[in-house]
Amino acid sequence: MEHLNDASHPLQHESRRDDLVDRIATVRDGETTTVERLEGTLARIEAVDGALNAFHEVLSDDARRHAASIDRQLAEGRDPGPLAGAIVAVKDNLCTTEGRTTCSSRMLEHYRSPFEATVVERLRTAGATIIGKTNLDEFAMGSSSENCAWGPVRNPHGVDRVPGGSSGGSAAAVAADLADVALGSDTGGSIRQPAAFCGCVGFKPTYGRISRYGLVAFGSSLDQIGPIARSVRDASLLYEVMAGVDPNDATTSDLPVEPPLADGPIDLRGLRVGVPREHVSDRNHPGVTASFGATLDTLRSAGATIIDVDLPLTHHGISTYYVIAPAEASSNLARYDGIRYGHRAEARPGEGLEELYARTRGEGFGAEVRRRIMLGTYVLSAGYYDAYYTRALKVRRLIKQELDQVLSQCDVLLGPTTPSPAFRLDADLDPVSMYLNDVYTVNANIAGIPAISIPGGLAEDDGEALPTGLHLQAPAFAEPMLLRTAAAIEALVSG
């Protein structure tokens, strides 16, 4: 396997800030065109995606048509929108009318959506060019992007490493410069953990802030869509375009969306940064501990007030999540029965409808999805419902109360995004060990609060320097506080 950490890899040429905001400015200023930018990106995909497998489908024809239209509008003096010139990749569990929407599942191998996700529609309307659909863990269930029907995604920082999951294709695409930004979905950390593993920014807004219409549902009380980006201001721009009420998603909030970075990065002097003791435990990889410690020293030097806080329910988050998420998944995925759309098993003479459902689903779903459907069915079944499901919903309230209480003592919470940097593809983790990757991210989904992962320096593992993530959390709907703080810390850490 060709290793990408050599002089020919695009990552080796990234020393400028060169984020989406800079790049679309060059299109508006006439230094380049959307078509030129698109062709450059398509050439890079052609060169490196055979090794990364970040994309399921590259929508070259549609992207070329759209890019030409953007350039035409600019040439005519019209405004194609705030994302004119942007090249955006979309996780393949978001419905697009161009191309297929497979969720990395045999079940939806040939599925073409008759409608477009609200977020995709809003991006297109804002001028973004959609370049393709990115690989993921099947139905967004996983933390390594290895549970994929058509092969795993590989990490651009070391192709024998996982990119994280489940939005691993989106994170790998942004890290290898195969898109300016990408969309992911986050049910327990699926935007933030791959962003951390690939050295990107990954942002999960408040539950209800961004429409999920057209997101293939996994855990409906937990799912949220968000950007994986090259900078906090890029993530903020995508958020501003996508956020807001949608008549097609009754869970969207009608609170007005404020431009989060209108007042610039926050002044770190006097900012109260809560650091949960449970997130800086001895169980973390030494490289993560070292880089996080260095960040805290830098923050103190910049005048921030670091407050040690306690979140004793942290480790109950994974247990709670692995009752609630599979329960919701078992219900959401009941729709895949081979009747109205998707895979259908070959008919057998004399077979009834029930047998057809069961063989269709047994064939169409991969191992992890089957495992979670069964777990969800188990915890919802008679005799177990109260002991597991109702109890998990009660613990969910306790976790939310604990976070609300701690967030009332400080402005933001800060910790490492993951206990370790990217692990190897052949690590062969058992399910529970894999699930524990999300120990620091999952409670933001359980409580519905916004959270972001930004690059937090490198950690050495087996002689390789790998990205780590800094994880920030804020109260529900406090996106401006979260993003302004993230922008300030980003400038400090990268500067």
Q: Catalytic residues, which ones?
A: 91, 166, 190
Q: How far is the CB of 75 from another protein (least distance, A)?
A: 33
429-436 contact pairs (CB < 8 A, 24+): 429/144, 431/368, 431/371, 434/142, 434/143, 434/144, 435/143, 435/318, 435/321, 435/322, 436/318
Binding status of residue 9 toward another protein by CB under 8 A: no
Q: How far is the CB of 136 from another protein (least distance, A)?
A: 21
Rounded Cα distance between 246 and 250, Å, is 7
Rounded Cα distance between 79 and 28, Å, is 10
Rounded Cα distance between 356 and 402, Å, is 46
- x/- binding map, residues 217-246, to another protein, per CB under 8 A? ----xx------------------------
Rounded Cα distance between 84 and 67, Å, is 9
In the bound state with another protein, the residue whose beta carbon lies nearer, of 68 and 341, is 341
Binding status of residue 342 toward another protein by CB under 8 A: yes
Binding status of residue 3 toward another protein by CB under 8 A: no
Q: How far is the CB of 399 from another protein (least distance, A)?
A: 9
| Contact present, 186 and 167 (Cβ < 8 Å) | yes
To the nearest 10°, report the CA torsion of 303, 306, 456, 487: -50
- Site for another protein, residues 367 to 406, rule: CB under 8 A: 370-371, 373-375, 377-379, 381-384, 386-388, 390-398, 400
- Site for another protein, residues 296 to 315, rule: CB under 8 A: 315
Binding status of residue 365 toward another protein by CB under 8 A: yes
Q: What is the DSSP letter of 188?
A: S
Q: How far is the CB of 357 from another protein (least distance, A)?
A: 4
- The CA distances from residue 421 to 134, 226, 286, 299, 311, in Å, are 22, 22, 10, 22, 23
- Site for another protein, residues 188 to 217, rule: CB under 8 A: 207-208
Binding status of residue 447 toward another protein by CB under 8 A: yes
Binding status of residue 351 toward another protein by CB under 8 A: yes
- Site for another protein, residues 20 to 79, rule: CB under 8 A: none
Binding status of residue 254 toward another protein by CB under 8 A: yes
Handedness of CA 297, 300, 301, 302 (dihedral sign): positive
The CB density around residue 90, as the number of other CB atoms within 10 Å, is 30
Q: Indicate which single residue of 348, 409, 428, 494 sits in contact with another protein (rule: CB under 8 A).
A: 348
Binding status of residue 340 toward another protein by CB under 8 A: yes
Pairing mode of beta strands 305-309, 272-276: parallel
- Site for another protein, residues 120 to 179, rule: CB under 8 A: none
Exposure string of 144-154, with b = 16+ CB inside 10 Å and e = fewer, is bbbbbbeebbb
- Site for another protein, residues 448 to 477, rule: CB under 8 A: 448-449, 476
Paired with 307 in beta bridges are 274
The stretch near another protein (CB under 8 A) out of 111-119, 151-159, 192-200, 405-413 is 111-119
Binding status of residue 358 toward another protein by CB under 8 A: yes
